[in-house]
Amino acid sequence: MPDTLSIVRPDDWHLHLRDGAALAHTVAPTARVFARAIVMPNLAPPVTSTDMAAGYRQRILDAVPAGIDFEPLMVLYLTDDTTVDEIRRARASGFVHAAKLYPSGATTNSASGVTDVRRLWPVLEVMQEVDLPLLVHGEVVDADIDVFDREAVFIERHLQPIVDTFPRLRVVFEHITTQDAAQFVLGARERVAATLTPQHLLMNRNHLLVGGLHPHHYCLPVLKRRTHQEALREVVASGNPRFFLGTDSAPHARGDKESACGCAGCFSAPAALPLYAHFFEEMGCLDKLEAFASHHGADFYGLPRNTDTVTLVREDWQVPGSLDFGAGEIVPYWAGRTLGWRLAG
């Protein structure tokens, strides 16, 4: 077994950084490892225009530690009122790389999201025309749909019609959690892909619920049963290029996670690459980590692969139980547990 593993510097194709004072604590853990990241736009207020994306991008760049190269790839937040002109402006900007569909009420800061997907048809037509990828939080929010079935129902009601109606549109089914989603992507036309998080590869709903509720394992889409987890693990371990790294790292202060609200999100950024290495080693295919982390996403987005490298060292280390988060603290994903790979340097 190798004691070191060097791979092309990876990218994170699904990341939450928040805004304001939080950036001093959220940008650095990602920028030290990943060359680029698709930055989610669900702020309060959301990033609904190219001008807002430009301002947010600059605030992120201002928080990057000195001497580190990091490129935030910006995303527009789609609403019922998004215009085709705004999509054209975004594509022409050179720094907006996608637009995000949040069903209204599906997750953190999604209240301004889309209430009727069919209202987006003119926008999606232009996104297809200018080749601006659509990123999808794939859950229905109807009260009569069980929370564990939301992803499967979304595929049938909304995602399949989108993929069929817009055959040249790039679509990323983000943070997939079910066998249904994995099979959908495997059987879909070209230009359909998916991101996978460390928590959905390493955990299932037992880790959330058995022995008491574990709020720092709570995310949306919620962890599913073990059979779904196993399906995700198998499809990633297969090396299929339609599946690539997207941490969905989502920081919330401890008080917000351990509250009646129980905010959704796992802050995996401080240990992201070692977590994925842990998964690939568990599956006996560590040699496939590089393609998943560093090749597949760049290829799908039509961006050049990175040329520099990062190195992992085989050495046990313990993820901190908590980290500074300005006025409070944040509990990272895998807190207090041991990982067998760490970043060199």
220 is in an annotated binding site: yes
d(CA 49, CA 40) in angstroms, rounded, equals 13
257 is in an annotated binding site: no
Residue with tokens 């790294």: 245
17 is in an annotated binding site: yes
Query: Which residues make Cβ contacts (< 8 Å) with residue 318, sequence separation at least 6?
Result: 336, 337, 338, 339
252 is in an annotated binding site: yes
DSSP readout, 40-78? P---SS---SHHHHHHHHHHHHHTSPTT---EEEEEEEP
Does 116 participate in catalysis according to the annotation?
no
43 is in an annotated binding site: no
Is beta strand 36-39 parallel, antiparallel or unpaired with respect to 328-330? Answer: unpaired
> Which of 3, 248, 299, 308 is labelled catalytic?
248
Cα–Cα nearest to 39, from 8, 77, 88 = 77
296 is in an annotated binding site: no
Q: In angstroms, what CA-CA distances link 271 with 150, 178, 255, 331?
A: 29, 24, 21, 12
248 is in an annotated binding site: yes
100 is in an annotated binding site: yes
14 is in an annotated binding site: yes
Residues labelled catalytic? 248
- Which residues sit in the known binding site for substrate? 16-18, 42, 137, 220, 252, 264
Point out the annotated binding site for Zn(2+): 14, 16, 100, 137, 175, 248
